[in-house]
Amino acid sequence: MAEIAVPEGSWTFNGDLLRVVPGSGKEVHELRRTLGAVAVPREAIAGVTFEPARKGGHLRLRLRKGADPLSDAVAGTLGPPADPYRLAVPKARAGAAEYFADEVRDTLEIYQQPTGPCEDYLLPGPDVPISATAGDGTVIFDGERVRLEWTGFAASEKEKAGPQEYPLSAVTGVEWKPQSGMGYGTLRFRIKGEGPAQSPQKDLRCVSWGIQRFGGATALVAAAVLARLPRELPQEPSETPALPPAPPAGGDAHDAVLRRLAELGELHRAGVLTDEEFASAKQAVIRRLHEI
């Protein structure tokens, strides 16, 4: 099993599940604390990389499109420190982060699973009931209804209209955007029969904020609603072709290769194998599996 633990949290991978656990410190973003631990099945993973930087770097987990409602809701706009699928790694742990990424990539290569879109979510949406407050409103979702209640920062149009409530059956989509520059961050619900779009400050289907970059935990409410809406089959991106089907090989063969890779990893960490020897041995083991 590969694992790495740093102040921001810990990641562990046993070949089937990659478990993401946020740290317990106050510096951990509200969204990640609210979401809690996430168990990501191997089938949902498109890739993992370590992105080095001057003071360490980030481990970054990429999920297949359509595998995770949170990833679909934020559409790549959720950056650190809010993104649960990025782990800030101090410089002293950079080597461990690179090793972790290698272990996950090797396993993905062995199983040769598709990396294209998923027809069904492989991760559940956040638990309900769930709520979040940002800027001019509080949004509450109990699994059946979405309710918007306005704060003291709401514009007069929202205050006069009062709280808004929509059954899930009336919701056709969810749009979430972070705050950027002079623009507002927004969580907007598309409703059947809705009229023309209005500015975020006046839109009764929208919570908006101008200070919090990621709007607290609003992205989790967006994900919880999205997970419970009828799915539209995601389109295959042309730049990310699916891998070919796995060659016929029994579970015993896969298990043996994973054990062998783990053994090679131990030898590498112990200094018995050089970097070049370790890389060469890994590729030889993987090639033998593909030839079975």
How do residues 72-128 score in pLDDT, each as one tens digit? 999 999 999 999 999 999 999 999 999 999 999 999 999 988 889 999 999 999 999
| pLDDT the model gives residue 115 | 85
pLDDT at residue 252, as a whole number: 61
Matching residue, tokens 């969810």: 174
Q: Which of 35, 1, 36, 34 is nearest to 18 (CA)?
A: 1
Percent of the chain at pLDDT exceeding 70: 88
pTM for the structure as a whole: 0.81
- Asked if residue 19 lies in contact with residue 39, where contact means CB atoms within 8 angstroms, the answer is yes
| Token couple for 202 | 């006046």
291 pLDDT above the threshold of 80:
no
Strands 185-191 and 206-209: antiparallel
Q: What is the dihedral of CA 258, 261, 262, 268, to 10 degrees?
A: -170
Mean pLDDT of 244-249: 43
Burial of 152 (0-12, 13-18, 19+ CB in 10 A): exposed
On the question of pLDDT at 245 being above 60, the answer is no
pLDDT digits (tens, 9 = 90+) for 222-238: 999 999 999 865 444 44
